[in-house]
């Protein structure tokens, strides 16, 4: 009998063989990835790229610049990402938290345990489980599995989970049945989104 570990790993390998490496997350810095994790909420990546390009053009893709600018100015810069007023507030909340708790240092942030990081990020207004896990995995390179609507749909469709499974149950299932590995979690999530 094939174990769930083997089934899930075989599923990953089949996706990888079909689609190849995805090279996620596109970003030139960990900070850019954090910003992108907020901006990609409820929109597609092409719109996020435009918003990030606007921030770069305005020399504003730093925590200091975002911290100093008004919510209104930030909202106009990130307008292409949609829900720009809401996302501006969420970014300001994230930056305020980063400044207050870690003096704006991603290095200090990355020294925290995954559990503490997740708990802290989830305490920031506007940061939910998917965004928190995306920041932890993609920006900080720590092994936590990111779950999104695609993950749920694909794993249910292939009989790994039932349709009533929630975010935490899906995350726990994946982490319990896959080796704890940043690159594996990164690629698996990216491949699921690719499907």
Return the structure tokens found at 38: 């907020």
CB 127 within 8 Å of CB 109: no
Sign of CA dihedral 63, 65, 70, 72: negative
User: Which of the two residues, 195 and 132, has the higher pLDDT score?
Assistant: 132
Report d(CA 137, CA 180) in Å as an integer. 12
The reported pTM is: 0.95
Distances (CA, A) of 100 to 23, 33, 72, 124: 32, 20, 22, 12
What pLDDT does residue 2 have? 73
Q: In which band, very low, low, confident or very high, does the pLDDT at 195 lie, cut at 50, 70 and 90?
A: confident
Res 127: pLDDT: 98
The average pLDDT across 49-56 equals: 98
pLDDT over 90 (residue 65): yes
Q: What are the residue ranges spanned by the domains of the chain?
A: 4-24+145-194, 30-139
Q: How do residues 78-97 score in pLDDT, each as one tens digit?
A: 999 999 999 999 999 999 99
Q: What pLDDT does residue 147 have?
A: 97
pLDDT(25) > 90: no
Euclidean distance between CA atoms 14 and 10, whole angstroms: 6
Which residue has 């009989």 as its token pair? 159
Pick the CATH number of 30-139 from 1.10.10.10, 3.30.1330.20, 3.40.50.620, 1.10.340.30: 1.10.340.30
Whether the Cβ atoms of residue 121 and residue 127 lie closer than 8 Å to each other: yes
134 alpha carbon, distance to own chain's centre: 2
pLDDT value at residue 110: 94
């Amino acid at each position: 009998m094939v174990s769930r570990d083997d089934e899930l790993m075989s599923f990953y390998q089949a996706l990888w063989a079909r689609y190849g490496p995805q090279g996620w997350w596109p970003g030139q810095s960990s900070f850019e990835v954090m910003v992108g994790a907020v901006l990609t909420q409820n929109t597609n990546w092409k719109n996020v790229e435009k918003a990030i390009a606007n921030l770069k053009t305005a020399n504003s893709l730093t925590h200091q610049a975002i911290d100093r600018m008004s919510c209104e100015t930030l909202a106009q810069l990130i307008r292409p990402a949609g829900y720009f007023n809401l996302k501006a507030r969420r970014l300001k909340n994230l930056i305020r938290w980063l400044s207050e708790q870690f003096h704006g240092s991603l290095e200090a942030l990355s020294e925290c345990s995954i559990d503490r990081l997740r708990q802290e990020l989830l305490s920031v207004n506007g940061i939910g489980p998917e965004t928190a896990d995306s920041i932890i995995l993609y920006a900080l390179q720590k092994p936590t599995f990111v779950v999104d609507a695609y993950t749920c749909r694909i794993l249910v469709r292939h009989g790994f989970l039932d349709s009533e499974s929630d975010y935490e149950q899906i995350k726990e299932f994946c982490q319990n049945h896959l080796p704890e590995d940043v690159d594996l979690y990164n690629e698996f999530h990216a491949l699921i989104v690719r499907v």
